Amino acid sequence: MFDHNIFQDNLVGVDFCEQMVKETNPSVLAKAEKKEAPHANLHGFRTIADIMRALNPFVGSFYREALQMSRMTREMFCLMEGRHVHPSTLYPGGVGTVPTIQLFTDYIVRLMKYVEFMKKVVPLHDDLFDFFYEALPGYEEVGRRRVLLGCWGSFNNPAVCDYSYKKMTEWGRGMYVTPGVVVDDKLVTTDLVDINLNIRILLGSSYYEGWENGEKFVKNDPLGNPVDQNHPWNQTTIPKPQKRDFAGKYTWVMSPRWLDKRTGDHLALDTGGGPIARLWATALAGIVDIGYIKATGRSVKMYLPKTMSLPEVEFEWKIPKWSNAIERDRARTYFQVYAASAALYFAEQALAELHAGRTRTWSEFTVPQDAIGCGFHEAVRGVLSHHVVIRDGKIANYHPYPPTPWNANPRDIYGTPGPYEDAVQNTPIFEENGPDKFKGIDIMRAVRSFDPCLPCGVHMYLGNGKVLETHHSPMFGMNA
């Protein structure tokens, strides 16, 4: 709730603010001035231009409201985890937070304010994003790539999850965000064991040597399935620094891929910044049904109860036609509702446990002498997996794979580009500025739709020997 809120409206949302649109597409702003917002009665802004003005950094009313909301969601996190961003209450085996009625009351009071805020946010963003499709025909091609989405699942069900590898298929499908690999709008698998075994770490454009002749730490998983040499369990990192060459080696990022055994293709899955993959996989699986959230097979319905000044409402995220910049951004808004709806359900479950006297938050934990292990979850921006080999009570090999390597990786040994490159390389340019004032806003929207967790550099060749180098991180409007 915190991260999506601050990124959507205080960082990437600035790409759609009046100030930016005025500088890059003045004709679009002129249309926005005349365009009545379809849901003005829900969010309070009469025209699309009014929405854009409200997103202007530090002065826009909605920008400032979202900034205050991000502060409150950070408080919610700190109630449970001690501090943000590095929690102080997490320990091997559990947490040190003591559950009390006061703790959950403080949390729920803030949660309900967030719920009310989301009842305005969804229609506001729907109006804004729909307008861009209308004002700029063909804008669906900006940041568009083939539907290749990965989600490792989130929000474990404690009634099912025991974190054992042997039952990983079962407890994975029991998650309140369903894991899955989506290829061309088809759900290939929801099995975490299958997902794990088919991860491959490839090179091609990275500053490393291969490990094909290195030690094979894991030959078989705990179920007896063979494990490939290019699986993270067997990866050996051998740096090979060299001069950057965009026709050869040009990055320290390796190329994670997922082997589709149906075709033999090594797929460059993306997370779309997290939400679009989570919603797409959950929708297609049709498993989640907790009252507040229901996956229908082609959509996800989310229920928000009555709040202080607004009635109850049901939002429905429907599988879009495209995996592109606009739909990645739209999904981020809807997943904020998903997270809030899930939090309401979890708070109810927690209070029931508290009233029943079941307040234990920690289990005995010992490091095994010899073991292999993995963990699958969703970070804010998407898939997060950990792969570890333990020998003699010590870590012998360990490799984590968070969202950034999946989204920001380079061309692999087969010439397949990573998601950022793939989404950008055929993106049409709608910006009205000529070469002398070109800002590259369409390219920046495409990259930022993935919610990069690092400053990015976009290098564009404009012809006539002129190279425009635009360094950008999601901090527009802030002075260093």
What is the distance between the alpha carbons of residues 408 and 414, in angstroms, rounded to a whole number? 17
Tokens standing for 413? 């040994």
| pLDDT tier, 465 (very low <50, low <70, confident <90, very high otherwise) | low
Higher pLDDT, 211 or 470: 211
Segment holding 76, helix H or strand E: helix 61-81
CA distances from residue 128 to 21, 41, 142, 256, 431 in whole angstroms, order as listed: 12, 15, 16, 34, 17
* Residue 479 pLDDT > 50: no
Return the pLDDT at 480.
34
Contact 323, 272 (CB under 8 A): yes
pLDDT bin (cut points 50, 70, 90) of residue 478 is very low
- Closest residue by Cα to residue 334 from 347, 348, 361, 315: 315
User: Using CA atoms, how far apart are residues 127 and 123, in angstroms rounded to an integer?
Assistant: 6
Cα of first residue to Cα of last residue in the chain, in angstroms, is 26
Q: What is the pLDDT of residues 261-306, one digit of tens each?
A: 999 999 999 999 999 999 999 999 999 999 999 999 999 999 999 9
CA 196 to chain centre: 19
Residue 141 above 50 pLDDT? yes
Share of the chain above pLDDT 90, in %: 86
* pLDDT of 455 higher than 80: no
Q: How many CA atoms lie less than 13 Å away from 73 in the CB half-sphere?
A: 21
**By the 8 A CB rule, do 119 and 304 touch?**
yes
The pLDDT of residue 91 is 85
The 3-state DSSP class for residue 477 equals coil
* Digit-coded pLDDT (tens) for 154-202: 999 999 999 999 999 999 999 999 999 999 999 999 999 999 999 999 9
Asked whether the beta carbons of 72 and 110 are under 8 A apart, the reply is yes
* Cα 319 from Cα 188, distance rounded (Å): 16
Is 458:444 a contact under the CB 8 Å cutoff? yes
Whole-number mean pLDDT of the chain?
Answer: 93
Residue 457's pLDDT band (cuts 50, 70, 90): low
Tokens 């606009």 correspond to what residue? Answer: 326
Alpha-carbon span 25 to 30, nearest angstrom: 9
In the prediction, which pLDDT does 172 show? 98
Query: What's the pLDDT score for residue 365?
Result: 86
What is the pLDDT at residue 474?
47
Query: Above pLDDT 70, what percent of the chain?
Result: 94
- Give the number of other CB atoms < 10 A from CB of residue 151: 31
The CB density around residue 294, as the number of other CB atoms within 10 Å, is 17
> For residues 83 and 223, what is the distance between their CA atoms, to the nearest angstrom?
39
Tokens encoding 118: 């989301």
Whether 473 shows a pLDDT value over 70: the answer reads: no
**Rounded Cα gap, residues 455 and 138, in angstroms:** 28
- Cβ neighbourhood burial of 228 (10 Å; 0-12, 13-18, 19+): middle
Pairing of strands 94-95, 90-91: antiparallel
The pLDDT assigned to 458 comes to 62
* Distance of alpha carbon 59 from alpha carbon 154, whole angstroms: 36
pLDDT at position 476? 42
Distance CA 381, CA 275 (A): 7
User: pLDDT-derived band of residue 22, with 50, 70 and 90 as boundaries?
Assistant: very high
Q: Which of 34-43, 66-75, 357-366 is the least confident region?
A: 357-366
∠42-137-426 over CA atoms, to 5°?
Answer: 115
CA atoms within 13 A on the CB side of 478: 9
CA R_g for the chain: 23
Note the pLDDT of residue 68: 96
pLDDT at position 472 over 60: no
C-alpha to C-alpha distances, 252 to 194, 236, 367, 471, nearest whole angstrom: 28, 14, 32, 18
User: Which helix (DSSP H) or strand (DSSP E) does residue 303 occupy?
Assistant: strand 299-304
Q: How confident is the model at residue 249 (pLDDT cuts 50, 70, 90)?
A: very high
> Per-residue pLDDT tens for 71-116?
999 999 999 999 888 889 988 888 999 999 999 999 999 999 999 9
Of 48 and 93, more confident:
48
0.85 cut: is pTM over it?
yes
At residue 334, does pLDDT exceed 80? Answer: yes
Lowest mean pLDDT among 33-37, 208-212, 414-418, 437-441: 437-441
Instruction: Over range 308-317, report the average pLDDT.
Output: 97
Element (H, E) at 95: strand 94-95
Give the DSSP letter of residue 177.
B
User: Strand, helix or coil at 151?
Assistant: strand
CB-based contact 10:70 (threshold 8 Å): yes
